[in-house]
Amino acid sequence: MSYNGTDNGYAVFTHVRIPRTALLSRYTSVSHTGIYTSSPMHEKLLYGGMLNGRNLIIRNCAFQLAQAVTIAVRYSVVRTQGQRSISGKEPVILSYKLQHYRLLTLVAKAYATIFASNAVNKTYKALLEQQAQGRHELLPYVHMLLAGLKAWTTQTAADGAEDARKACGGHGYLVISGLPEIVNSVTACCTFEGENFVLWKQVSRYLVKGLAASVLPEDMAYMGPYHYYGPTTCAYHGKEFLEPEKLVRVFEYRAARLSREVFEAMGREEGGRVRAEERHAVALLQAARAHIELYILLTFVSSIPPAPSSLRPILTNLLLLFALTTISSPLSASSSSFLEDSYFSLSQIQTMRDLTNEILEKLLCESVALTDAWAFTDASLSSAIGCWDGDVYKRIMEWTRQLPINVEASKNGGVIKQAWEESIRPFLREGELRVRSML
């Protein structure tokens, strides 16, 4: 799917002897008597290539989502449709609420995934430096982080790219829009280097193991207070929801509650760990997703430049849009996990939705600049509807005329001659003869 240049196959050898010295046995070995030996730590090192693969996939999908959104935003400021205004002009489709809501929330997610990718890449490099010195204490954390971010990023990119395609209507369906190829490419990422639902299990097992330990891992330390004080209600109101540090507390509470609740429920199960994991699989996935979304929010916060940077207000608004829609939007896949324990009142949810509308109005005029900031070239986007100059319709016609079938037709007065001679003309002639025979 999409990766047509990738060959997946196998080789079969018969009556071929492979010397043991040629068995790629850096970390494991097989003796001449057939005994397999390996140390547990060496077996973990075998995941090194896979971790690097997931790290690359996270970054690749972050920018593929950004490419899809760039195309959709550029198209949406050119395409006009709807009732003419007093000036006699049709409005551009980006001015419609649902259109800029969809696209700006995707812009926020794209920035969030890029910042998360930057952060996890630094952590992965730190692991490699440790391992070069024979130390591996970061390995469990990095394995969990890359598994969860790979699952979250690829699904977010796949869903987001498809929504960006749909936001471009019929023109987004054209191959020359560049969007179908992006959609297929990121969709494939949801399964290779680990199927996403399996990867969420890796995250949830890390969380369960951390909660069972005598001391919580550093990245799970925020779960400690919830263990002692139990469920509560959100104390924030009004403009307080525009303070990033308070939104971090909200994400921490949600992640801690979900992890603690499923951990305690598993502890009451009979039949062992495997049965408990299977019975609470959905709740474990939800807890894993909450932990990863907290990490993404934290990396977003840490990526915003300090004052007096001119980028600070814009990036802060993007952060707020990402956080508030994740919590309160009816379209969010995660909103139910914030609301199910009455942590928020209806009034607080409505406040967050009102604030979201205000942020959207502030960001609307920045839509093109926010996507131009990624500096994609026209060649990299390969899109007739997403080029920087916005000349959509002229380029669609130019690219269409370059298709081999149309080039050939132009040589024959606009007729596809071979198809006409071999299929259409005989069909029409046969029909004409049949009609004459009936008369």
Tens of pLDDT along 300-359? 999 999 989 999 999 999 999 999 999 999 999 899 999 988 899 999 999 999 999 999
- 251-271 pLDDT, tens digit each: 999 999 999 999 999 999 888
Cα(191)–Cα(173) distance, integer angstroms: 24
In this prediction, residue 42 carries a pLDDT of 64
Report the mean per-residue pLDDT for the chain: 92
- 39-66 pLDDT, tens digit each: 666 666 667 778 999 999 999 999 999 9
Asked if 242 and 320 touch (Cβ cutoff 8 Å), the reply is yes
Tokens of residue 405, six digits: 């079938």
Superfamily of chain region 45-372: Butyryl-CoA Dehydrogenase, subunit A, domain 3 (1.20.140.10)
End-to-end CA gap in the chain:
53
Tokens of residue 130, six digits: 């440790």
Tokens of residue 192, six digits: 């290779």
Confidence of residue 437 (pLDDT cuts 50, 70, 90): confident
Q: Which of 387, 391, 365, 377 is nearest to 79 (CA)?
A: 391
- 70-101 pLDDT, tens digit each: 999 999 999 999 877 767 789 999 999 999 99
In this prediction, residue 40 carries a pLDDT of 66
Q: Which of 363, 290, 291 is nearest to 333 (CA)?
A: 290
Q: At what angle do helices 196-212 and 139-167 cross, to 10 degrees?
A: 140
| Bridge partners for 80 per DSSP | 92
In this prediction, residue 413 carries a pLDDT of 85
- 342-358 pLDDT, tens digit each: 899 999 999 999 999 99
Tell me: pLDDT of 407 over 60.
Answer: yes
- Which sequence spans correspond to the domains of the chain? 45-372, 403-438
In this prediction, residue 56 carries a pLDDT of 95
Residues whose CB is less than 8 angstroms from the CB of residue 131 and which lie 6 or more positions away in sequence, other chains included: 45, 48, 139
- Counting Cα atoms < 13 Å in the Cβ hemisphere of 332 gives 21
- 193-252 pLDDT, tens digit each: 889 999 999 999 999 999 999 999 999 999 998 765 556 899 999 999 999 999 999 999
Cα(363)–Cα(73) distance, integer angstroms: 13
In this prediction, residue 227 carries a pLDDT of 65
Residues acting as catalytic residues? 193
Residues whose CB is less than 8 angstroms from the CB of residue 30 and which lie 6 or more positions away in sequence, other chains included: 20, 23, 36, 37
Tokens of residue 181, six digits: 């190829």
Tell me: pLDDT of 113 over 70.
Answer: yes
| Bridge partners for 29 per DSSP | 37
Residues whose CB is less than 8 angstroms from the CB of residue 326 and which lie 6 or more positions away in sequence, other chains included: 293, 332, 334, 335, 338
